[in-house]
Structure 1
Amino acid sequence: MEMEALLVNAAAKGASDLHLTEGLPPVLRLQGRLVPTAGPVLAASDTERLLAAITTDEQRSVFYQQGELDFAYTIRGMSRFRIHSFRQRGFTALAIRIIPDTIPTLEQLAYTNVLQVLARKKRGLVIISGPAGSGKSTTLAAMLELINQERNCHIITIEDPIEYWHRHNRSMVNQREINRDTSSFGNALRAALREDPDVIMLGEMRDAETISTAITAAETGHLVLATLHTGDAVQTIDRIIDAFPAYQQQQIRIQLALSLQGVIAQQLVPCCNSGKRVAAMEVLLATPAVRNLIREGKSQQILSVIQTSVSAGMRSMDMALLELYRKGLITYEEALSRAVDQANFTAPGTCTEAR
């Protein structure tokens, strides 16, 4: 059992993740569900050997000192792999995310028009939110690639680790990886402001300092694309404000109201007619009404604005799920299980052929 063969097999089967841990055969995540492979059960020595096959001496030293290691691995022409190795019960385990080698276009994603509008903004803050494994990195990569194809500008990405590689096109693209090119998101973001950027992509806004710097960058004429692990647009706004002590929150509300361009909250839902998943996307755009609600601390009213602003390009998560169901892409049961307001969701019907 060789590591590259396991990675190639996982990518070929369309898995989103591969798990390697002692006492089980390799396990794939397919359409959001864990599926054991028919391979042999892994021993502790197997996971140690598999990790050693794709790491340097320096990386293994960090792993044995800290108990965790994050890095990326590439099989050219096939995929990149975001790998997290960790210790559990004294043994080595690996959680591996499969990232396609080719960056998808926005035309291949849902809600193309809204994503294009946000990607073409020249300044401000755009946030892609969702749980782990919801496709946030893919959406960001597609938006960056549109910018790369259309604008003569300087793009800086800050990632942990780098997932999609962006080649220089019309834009110059510099990609920085935590613990390889820089020590932290905060340090890299502060440094980016001295590197003449036009667009900054921030893999994750992890703390108040990073959030504050990102907002400042957006205020001062840069387009900042970032992610948060939040379930919907309202939670995203609240998470940003709540990251700060009470005495700072009103100032952050004012800054966020001025700088925000939009929030895309997404989740991946299994398709009913194929082995793929499709993104359901809630869309919040920073209209004057939304900016006022943020400024006044009335985030609980934002959902109502979303629901009544479909003509402006907004939609709630329940609207997005209902749209996918009516198109025949997902089942009613899947849509209902993920709906926010299940009591008022639509009546069930039959899943038709996807169009």
Structure 2
Amino acid sequence: MDTASLLSLKKFLATVEEYRASDLHLSVGNPPTLRVNGQLIPIKETVVTPKFVTEIADAILTADQKQKLQEQKELIVTFDFESKKRFRIHFFFQQGYISASIRSIHNMIPTPDQLGIPTQITQRLLGIHQGLVLYVGSFGSGRTTTVASLVNHINNQQAWRIITIEQPVEYIFADNKSIIEQREVGKDASTWSQALESVLDEDVQLVVVSDVLGEQVLEKILEVAESGRLVYSTMNASHTVSAIERIINMLSSEKKTYMMSKFSSVLEAIVGQKLIPGVDGGLKLAMEIFIPNSMTRTLIKEGSLYQLSHIIQTSQEESIQSFDLALVELVQQHKIALERAMEHAHNKEAFRAFFR
């Protein structure tokens, strides 16, 4: 039976749809707050109470999930709203109280064109059929949606078997030319490593992993990529170099040399992305693309990140596009304002000089 709090949540979720918000934040002591086109908009008629969020958790979560939330102090689940809309809910504790951050998941998986992915980048990424492709960005950058879009494009074009390994499952795919199996860690597999180990003996062309969670999971991801499969994985990192730095930092000293050698050999691309407020009030996608060659593979293997960063920022090769170059193109296309682009540029001095 619906509690009063769950009914209130459904009302707020309807408001999310009405405003086309990407997120709803429920923080105890504050009003429910929407994120619309990058801006925070409080719903001022009410204030979130501890009872409100606790009752929502009680209504949505299973007994096992409630126990996990109490033990680990955070939990991510999905919630289907009246069979029409799907949401990703992150329960966590702050100041001793349960709070929640709720993200809207598209009903229809958008195409690469609809997301604003440049055609040449889409074609280059879809031309990769083995190895590892990392999709990186900060929270809210749309990296999960980009992966879903490319997977669905493959689904519509190729007779592949695709396995996704997620926690939780977010986008729901309908088989077209491909067969897509979606496995949730904790439900369909005990651990990430177990799920990845199982695909090594299966007929599968693409494996999608929703995050790189530590050395053991990374080792299995590299093993799958090394076996001739294509692996897509997302990672919470702001750009190419920070993603590689994060990977280096998750490795133990005993395995670092071996693992970085393997990582540099199977890596086929890193795609970074940001969503920038546009002049029309919407959000515009800025993409960094890095496809390694023999020289940059050596730099990755050696951990020479300063040199790698310099190459990315200054390269004129088609296989590399920096965020700054993507921002320049968006400004020239009158999609974002110069001042807004400046806020996100890596080399602000060089970026400003470009427009003098």
Deviation string, structure 1 residues 307-350 (Cα, Å, up to 9, x no partner): 4544424211111112112211112222111111112212597x
Is 1:9 aligned with 2:12?
no
1:74 equivalent to 2:80? Answer: yes
Task: Decide which of 195, 198, 220 is 1:213's aligned counterpart.
Answer: 220
Q: Paired residue for 2:288, among 282, 293, 317? A: 282
Counterpart contact for 2:200–2:227, Cα < 8 Å: no
For 1:1-355, what aligned pairs fall within 5 Å after superposition?
2-75=8-81, 78-109=84-115, 110-274=117-281, 276-346=282-352
Q: CA deviation at 1:20?
A: 1.4
Matched residue type, 1:167? A
Q: Is the 8 A contact 1:106 1:116 kept in 2?
A: no
Q: Is the 8 A contact 1:78 1:100 kept in 2?
A: no
Shift of 1:136: 0.8
The alpha-carbon distance between structure 1 residues 62 and 294, as it changes in their structure 2 partners (threshold 3 A), is closer
In the comparison of the two structures, how many residue pairs are matched?
349
| CA deviation after TM superposition for structure 1 residue 264, in Å | 0.6
Deviation digits for residues 111-164 of structure 1 (CA, Å, limit 9, x no counterpart)? 232133223322110001111111110111011111111111111111121111
Partner Cα distance (1:325, 1:281) in 2? 14
Q: CA deviation at 1:16?
A: 1.5
**CA 1:229–1:63 in structure 2 vs 1: closer, same or farther (change >3 Å)?**
closer
1:274-314 deviations in Å (ceiling 9; x for gaps):
2x211211110122332233244433222343345444242
How far the C-alpha of 1:226 sits from its partner, in A, is 0.6
Q: Tell me: CA distance 1:270–1:221, structure 2 relative to 1, closer, same or farther (3 Å).
A: same
Structure 1 residue ranges without an equivalent (≥5): 350-355
Partner Cα distance (1:52, 1:310) in 2: 55
* TM-score, length basis structure 2: 0.90
Distance across 1 between alignment mates of 2:50 and 2:98 = 7
- Percentage of pairs with the same residue: 33
Secondary structure of the equivalent of 1:183?
coil
Contact kept, 8 Å, 2:136 with 2:271, in 1: the verdict is yes
Structure 2: segments with no counterpart, 5+ residues = 1-6
The separation in 2 between residues aligned to 1:210 and 1:319, in whole angstroms, is 33
Could you say which residue in structure 1 is the equivalent of 2:4?
none
The CA deviation at 1:183 is 2.7
For 1:150 and 1:305, locate their aligned partners in 2 and report how far apart those are by CA, in whole Å: 34
* 1:218/1:259 contact within 8 Å kept: yes
- TM-score where L is the length of structure 1: 0.90
Instruction: Give the deviation of 1:76 after TM superposition.
Output: 6.0
Alpha-carbon distance in 1 for matches of 2:94, 2:302: 46
RMSD: 2.3
Q: Which deviates more from structure 2 when the two are superposed, residues 236-245 or residues 154-163?
A: 236-245
CA distance in 2, matches of 1:295, 1:116: 27
Shift in alpha-carbon separation, 1:307–1:12, aligned structure 2, 3 A = same
Q: Which amino acid aligns with 1:150?
A: Q
Structure 1 CA distance, aligned partners of 2:249 and 2:96?
37
Matched position secondary structure for 1:180? coil
SS in 2 for 1:138: helix
Residue identity opposite 2:320 in structure 1? M
Please give the alpha-carbon distance, in whole angstroms, between the structure 2 residues aligned to 1:231 and 1:55. Answer: 32
What does residue 352 of structure 1 align with?
none
Which moved further from structure 2: 35-44 or 146-155? 35-44
Contact 1:262 1:283 in 2 (8 A): yes
- Does structure 2 conserve the Cα–Cα contact (< 8 Å) formed by 1:3 and 1:53? no
